[in-house]
Amino acid sequence: MVTFIEQIETLANRSKVAERQALTEEATKTAVILPFIQALGFDVFNLDEVLPEFIADIGTKKGEKVDFAIKIDGQIAMLVEAKPINCKLGDTQFSQLFRYFHVTEARLAILTNGKEAWFFSDTDEPNKMDKKPFFTFDFQNHDKMQVQELSRFQKSCFAIDSIIEAASNLKYTRAAAAYLKKQLDDPDDDFVRLVGRQIHEGSITKSVSEQLKPAIQAALDEIIRDRIQDKLSITFRGDSSPAPSKVEPEIEEDASGIETTEEELEGFMIVRAIGARLAPIDRITMRDAKSYCAILMDDNNRRPVCRLYFNSPTTKHLGIFDASKVETRVRIDRPSDIYKHAEAIEAAMQAYLTA
C-alpha cells in the first residue's frame, strides 16, 4: 500500500512537470490539485465529498464560485481555491478566498497554485479568515516534519478542533520565532531594556543600554552554540554509549604547522547542525589546510560544502559553492554568522544527495 509520504513525493514530481507544461488553471487542477485532494483521502469523483465550482453567494454578488468545497459527513470542512501554477500567490487571491470564507461553515481554506499550498483558518476572529496562513506547504521543497503536519488534513484523521488548536499554536510559534530571530540579529531597545532590568541594578539609560546590547547579543549567540553542542553530543553519543565531555573532530596537525582552531571547530559544528536536516552528520566532515578549513560531504574533496577562512587575525570569510562548484567568498564577523547562509549550504549538500 502506498504511504502518505510516497503520495506526496509523487505530487512533488507532478508539480515539477506541471511547472514546465501546465499553462492554465484547469491544467494545474488536473495535474496537481485534484491528485493533492485525492492524496488527502477524498474521493474526487464523489460529489458528496468533493464539490467543484461550489456557489458561495456574497451579499448582492450572485454566482460567486469556489473551485472546490471538501465535505465530511455532509458538512463543508474545507474550501480550496486553485490558481495556475505560474501564478504567484498573493493579496488578490487571498481577498477572493477571504470573501468566500465567511459565507460557509468551513473553518479551513486552502489557496494553492500546485506549487505551494497556503492553509488559513479563523484563529483571530470567528468566521473571519485570518490574514496570514498558519501553515504553508511547498510541493517541490519540503521535509518530513512538514509532510507530517500536512497529514493532519487527511480525511481518515481529520479533527477540526485539534487542527484549529495546532493552527493557533503554529501562528504564535511563527510570530515568536520571527521576533527572536530579529533579536538574535540585532536586539532592539525594548528587548535590551527587558533583559537589562534582570542583570543591571539601576536605571537603564541610553548609555547603559548601548553598553549592554553587545553583551546581550553575545549571550544569545552563546546560548545557541550551547544548544547546538548539546544536540550534537546526543546525536554522536546515541542511546547506549557514555557521553563524552566534549564532542569535537580530531584536530589535524602536521609538520607544516596546520592546527584547527576553536573557531574553526565551532564553524564546523554549525555547518553540521545546518546539514543535520538533510543527512546524517557523520557524512559532514572537515579537512584543515594552511589557508582554509574545508567542510566536505563524505570526506570527499570533490564534494565541498563550504570553506572557512578564519586564519586572518582581522577578517573572516565563508566560502560558499554554487551548483557548478564555483566558490564565492562572503565576509562574516563571527562563526554564528554562518547561519545566515544556511540556505546556500543546504543547496550545496542537496546537490550531492540527489546526484
Write down the pTM of the prediction: 0.54
pLDDT category of residue 254 using cuts at 50, 70 and 90: very low
Average pLDDT, stretch 186-193? Answer: 88
> pLDDT-derived band of residue 14, with 50, 70 and 90 as boundaries?
very high
Say yes or no to pLDDT of 213 above 50. Answer: yes
Looking at residue 241, its pLDDT comes to 40
Q: Is the dihedral of CA 127, 128, 129, 132 positive or negative?
A: negative
34: pLDDT strictly greater than 90: yes
Q: What is the pLDDT confidence band of residue 41, given thresholds at 50, 70 and 90? A: very high
Q: At what angle do helices 206-237 and 262-275 cross, to 10 degrees?
A: 70
Give the per-residue pLDDT at 233. 53
CA 145 to chain centre: 10
Q: Cell numbers 517541490 label which residue?
A: 140
Instruction: State how far the alpha carbon of 71 is from the alpha carbons of 79, 106, 115, 155, in Å.
Output: 9, 9, 23, 10
Rounded Cα–Cα distance for residues 170 and 163 (Å): 10
| Cell 565576509 sits on residue | 331
Q: Are strands 135-138 and 293-297 parallel, antiparallel or unpaired?
A: unpaired
Q: Which of 212-221, 227-236, 239-248 has the lowest mean pLDDT?
A: 239-248
Residue 256: the pLDDT is 53
> Can you tell me whether residue 44 is helix, strand or coil?
coil
pLDDT at 235 over 60: no
Please compute the mean of the pLDDT values over residues 294-308 and round it to a whole number.
92
* pLDDT per residue as tens digits for the range 132-164: 888 899 999 988 888 988 998 999 888 888 888
Please give the share of the chain, as a percent, with pLDDT higher than 90: 30
Got the DSSP string for 172-208? HHHHHHHHHHHHHHS--HHHHHHHHHHH-SS---HHH
Can you tell me the mean pLDDT for 226-247? 49
Mean per-residue pLDDT for 41-48? 94
- Residue 243 has a pLDDT of 39
Domain topology for 262-354? Outer Surface Protein A; domain 3 (3.90.930)
More confident residue, 261 or 247: 261
Question: Domain spanning 4-172 has what CATH number?
Answer: 3.90.1570.30
In this prediction, residues 63-72 reach a mean pLDDT of 84
